[in-house]
Amino acid sequence: MRSASFATQSVTDCIPTRVGNDHLSYNDYRATLRVACHSGRSASSLKRGASRTAFPRWRVGNDHLGYDDYRATLRVACRSGRSASSLKRGASRTAFPLKRQAREVSGLALTEREASDSTIIPALSPVLQCSFLLFSSRSHQYFQSMRAGKGHFIELLFSKMNINVHIRHSNHAQELSRRPPMPHATVPTPPLSEVYDIAVIGGGINGVGIAADASGRGLSVFLCEKDDLASHTSSASSKLIHGGLRYLEHYEFRLVREALAEREVLLAKAPHIVKPMRFVLPHRPHLRPAWMIRAGMFLYDNLGKREKLPASRTIRFGADSPLNPSITRGFEYSDCWVDDARLVVLNAMAARENGAHIHTQTRCVSARRIKGMWHLHLERSDGSLFSIHAKALVNAAGPWVAKFIREDLKLDSAYGIRLIQGSHLIVPKLYEGEHAFILQNEDKRIVFTIPYLEHFTIVGTTDREYQGDPNKVDITEGEMDYVLKVANDHFKKQLSRADVLHTFSGVRPLCNDESDNPSAITRDYTLSLSGSGDEAPILSVFGGKLTTYRKLAESAMTQLAPFFKQMKPSWTAKAALPGGEDMTTPEALAAEMTGRYSWLPAPIAKRWSITYGSRSWRLLDGAQGLEDLGQHLGAGLYTREVDYLCEQEWATSIEDILWRRTKLGLFTTPEEQANVRNYLETVVRNKATIEAA
């Protein structure tokens, strides 16, 4: 046990501004937040020297209210003006019972009796004098579960130091303003022996969707992902939010209806990363007759709720069509495009903002039922081990769902899994226009051509059984030839392998329904729940579509509801994802950014608006010019954005940043990619230095 005394300037309505001539970026806090934490120093002596410490200066003013309403009373159990040593002597009578486990005195749930001998000081005075007792263990951080409006300044200070502090909040936070809270540390070191309501295995779309739903219902959630978020199946999709027109041929009306309804929900939840798109189906009479397609379009228009998207129609192709002259007729309908990897990241952020602990680069080594609880043993990427306990376990391991049950849990799986590989090509822009094509092939399968990042076209996907390691999925020569042939059968512009700029492949973990044709295997999801009475439950997720992840999460929580009587009702249908709050369209947001910050290049504003949505303002906070965004690494990527991605979105590698978070991989040169890699290495070194201090 060690004690510390601490004093700071006013924490009322605080916004970081400039110190001297240098702007305080998010990364700068690593240097500036070396708090005077002197064992045995009194709070009053720290008060006298507060203005000379390394604290950033703060500006109070109505212009900047909104990152966190610090007027919400932060009540800290402390003894004003008492020395740390005297606090240590009296600790057993304060709000810091030393004999309790750290998790029991985290400060998030101190009772009135435990705090009865403490002096409660509202954080309203110009100088807040506080004395804290700090655990010598540097592995516990509880700050991630603190809500906006409840003292993120204190949280930021101590989370940057990676030190445990016990803070007690009042129950009446004032109404927050429209801007989001100040950023705070993201990936916490897991508290050992912590008990969670739910532990989720897997950081794909289904895992983070369940974590977000559960945490928003008041449950404590732990999620681990062995790699990066969306590093496998969820970032290798066709990037569509769609009902699945072709599923009608397989009579999957329930799935199509649910997916069409979710299409509207996601358009409202994430308008920055989900956008409407028109799809053109060229008619090839020998494959499907026109009456069949018209009937399918009618069902597609009317099976689900459709408020924002136009209906289908028949179209004729003229001489200026990019299609081969033999194709003269087609059908047009609406679906949506989505940034699939960012959809995953935003759900993880939503979960974290509701108190969930999200741990990437963390593998579940084993899980066992012991005395009505799940005991999980986990390993970080650096080889360090830790354990947690959970009342329920959710297996959302995607391609590894059955393997996890069989090898890690030593249990029998109720369902089999079939891995179906899907591969895509990225080629230079194949045609003008923002519409996609859905191409029918002779084998009755379909291939999409989808506009991508203004300069490219995605062509895919394939459907083939996969028997290999899901970690090592690559396009085959046969798949590449197949996709190129389908495109060349339809378009005037012919493609060759030399036109392929990039490929990506993933495996879809579909529930085995014994279908002979991989394309006919249901894309619907199956949830398998086991555990009753005193036995800790496990819910395993088989199959599912990107489009229906939210409904899958709701269904999962419905199945787990009997085990959590205190669980709140469903909430995700109307709640915007991070960045989707307070915005109309990306175009309007980009125009507002360049209007307020005339020095901001329009291409950057446009990219930020469709990447971060309303969270883009965080990247601009306090910036007076382009130089305040830091070093330019290439393709409009500045170090401030990289810092944000590392601190707020769990990015740790160049692939995380260039391919999954920003989509700049296709725009950067090898030299620019080396710049990003070198900067990331610097960030990692700085972080290691600070954590070791």
Q: How do residues 156-191 score in pLDDT, each as one tens digit?
A: 444 444 433 333 333 333 333 333 333 334 444 445
Using a 10 angstrom Cβ sphere, with 0-12 exposed, 13-18 middle and 19 or more buried, the burial of residue 93 is exposed
Same domain, yes or no, for 541 and 666? Answer: no
Across 329-352, average pLDDT: 98
Q: Determine the straight-line distance between the first and last CA of the chain, rounded to whole angstroms.
A: 17
Residue 507 lies in a domain: no
Same domain, yes or no, for 8 and 137? Answer: yes
pLDDT over 90 percentage in the chain:
65
Rounded CA gap, 152 and 150, in Å? 6
Rounded CA gap, 546 and 509, in Å? 12
Residue 209 lies in a domain: yes
Pair of tokens at residue 33: 């937040």
Instruction: Give the pLDDT confidence score for residue 591 in this predicted structure.
Output: 98
Task: Specify the range with the lowest mean pLDDT, choosing from 15-29, 223-237, 480-494, 537-551.
Answer: 15-29
E strands in 309-466: 313-316, 329-338, 357-359, 362-370, 373-380, 385-395, 417-428, 436-440, 446-452, 456-460, 464-465
Same domain, yes or no, for 625 and 553? Answer: no
Instruction: Give the pLDDT confidence score for residue 163 in this predicted structure.
Output: 39
Same domain, yes or no, for 543 and 610? Answer: no
Instruction: Give the pLDDT confidence score for residue 522 in this predicted structure.
Output: 78
Rounded CA gap, 426 and 445, in Å? 20
Pair of tokens at residue 110: 């101190």
Instruction: Give the pLDDT confidence score for residue 138 in this predicted structure.
Output: 29
Among candidate residues 579, 128, 43, 193, the one with its CA nearest the CA of residue 348: 579
CATH assignment at residue 630:
1.10.8.870
Instruction: Give the pLDDT confidence score for residue 414 in this predicted structure.
Output: 82
Same domain, yes or no, for 67 and 125? Answer: yes
Same domain, yes or no, for 528 and 597? Answer: no
Residue 405: DSSP 8-state = I
Instruction: Give the pLDDT confidence score for residue 25 in this predicted structure.
Output: 38
Same domain, yes or no, for 16 and 136? Answer: yes
pTM: 0.75
CATH assignment at residue 394:
3.50.50.60
Same domain, yes or no, for 60 and 93? Answer: yes
Q: Which residue has the tokens 């990015």?
A: 651
Reply yes or no on whether the pLDDT at 601 is more than 70.
Answer: yes
Q: Which residue has the tokens 């989720």?
A: 200
Rounded CA gap, 570 and 553, in Å? 10
Domain count across the chain: 3
Same domain, yes or no, for 142 and 207? Answer: no
Rounded CA gap, 315 and 330, in Å? 5
Name the amino acid, one letter, at 392: A
**Residues near 353 by beta carbon (within 8 Å), at least 6 away in sequence:** 148, 578
Q: Which domain holds residue 223?
A: 195-232+342-416+523-563
Q: How do residues 204-240 score in pLDDT, each as one tens digit?
A: 999 999 999 999 999 999 999 999 999 999 999 999 9
Question: Residue 333 half-sphere exposure, CB side, CA atoms within 13 Å?
Answer: 23
Same domain, yes or no, for 33 and 100? Answer: yes
Across 72-91, average pLDDT: 32
Using a 10 angstrom Cβ sphere, with 0-12 exposed, 13-18 middle and 19 or more buried, the burial of residue 640 is buried
Q: How do residues 642-662 score in pLDDT, each as one tens digit?
A: 999 999 999 999 999 999 999
Reply yes or no on whether the pLDDT at 614 is more than 50.
Answer: yes
**DSSP assignment string, 482-545:** HHHHHHHHHBSS---GGG--EEEEEEEEEE----SSGGGS---EEEEEE--TTSPPEEEEEE--
Confidence label for 514 from pLDDT (cuts 50, 70 and 90): low
Q: Are 529 and 257 in contact (CB under 8 A)?
A: no
**DSSP assignment string, 624-693:** -SGGGG--EEETTEEHHHHHHHHHHS---SHHIIIIIIS--TTT--HHHHHHHHHHHHHHHHHHHHHHH-
Among candidate residues 74, 77, 37, 43, the one with its CA nearest the CA of residue 157: 37
Top-confidence range, 42-46, 69-73, 387-391: 387-391
Across 110-123, average pLDDT: 32
Q: How would you write 415-447 as a 3-class SS string?
A: CCEEEEEEEEEEEECCCCCCCEEEEECCCCCEE
Rounded CA gap, 7 and 78, in Å? 12
Same domain, yes or no, for 543 and 647? Answer: no
Same domain, yes or no, for 546 and 615? Answer: no
Among candidate residues 457, 230, 223, 456, the one with its CA nearest the CA of residue 359: 223
Residue 186 lies in a domain: no
Reply yes or no on whether the pLDDT at 154 is more than 90.
Answer: no
Residue 492 lies in a domain: no
Instruction: Give the pLDDT confidence score for residue 693 in this predicted structure.
Output: 62
Instruction: Give the pLDDT confidence score for residue 214 in this predicted structure.
Output: 99
Residue 549 lies in a domain: yes
Rounded CA gap, 551 and 556, in Å? 8
Q: How would you write 3-67 as a 3-class SS string?
A: EEEEEECCCCCCEECEECCEECCHHHHHHHCCCCCECCCEHHHHHHHHHHCCCCCEECCHHHCCC
Instruction: Give the pLDDT confidence score for residue 534 in this predicted structure.
Output: 85
**Mean pLDDT score of the chain, rounded to an integer?**
78
Reply yes or no on whether the pLDDT at 112 is more than 60.
Answer: no
Residue 594 lies in a domain: yes
Residue 363 lies in a domain: yes
Q: How do residues 417-448 score in pLDDT, each as one tens digit?
A: 899 999 999 999 999 999 999 999 999 999 99
Q: Are 132 and 157 in contact (CB under 8 A)?
A: no
Task: Specify the range with the lowest mean pLDDT, choosing from 166-170, 313-317, 373-377, 535-539.
Answer: 166-170
Name the amino acid, one letter, at 131: S
Residue 107 lies in a domain: yes
Q: How do residues 5-41 score in pLDDT, each as one tens digit?
A: 333 333 333 333 333 333 333 333 333 333 333 333 3
Rounded CA gap, 310 and 595, in Å? 32
Instruction: Give the pLDDT confidence score for residue 107 in this predicted structure.
Output: 34
Confidence label for 519 from pLDDT (cuts 50, 70 and 90): low
Rounded CA gap, 383 and 15, in Å? 38
- CA angle 367–371–376, rounded 5-degree value: 20
Confidence label for 321 from pLDDT (cuts 50, 70 and 90): very high
Across 674-682, average pLDDT: 96
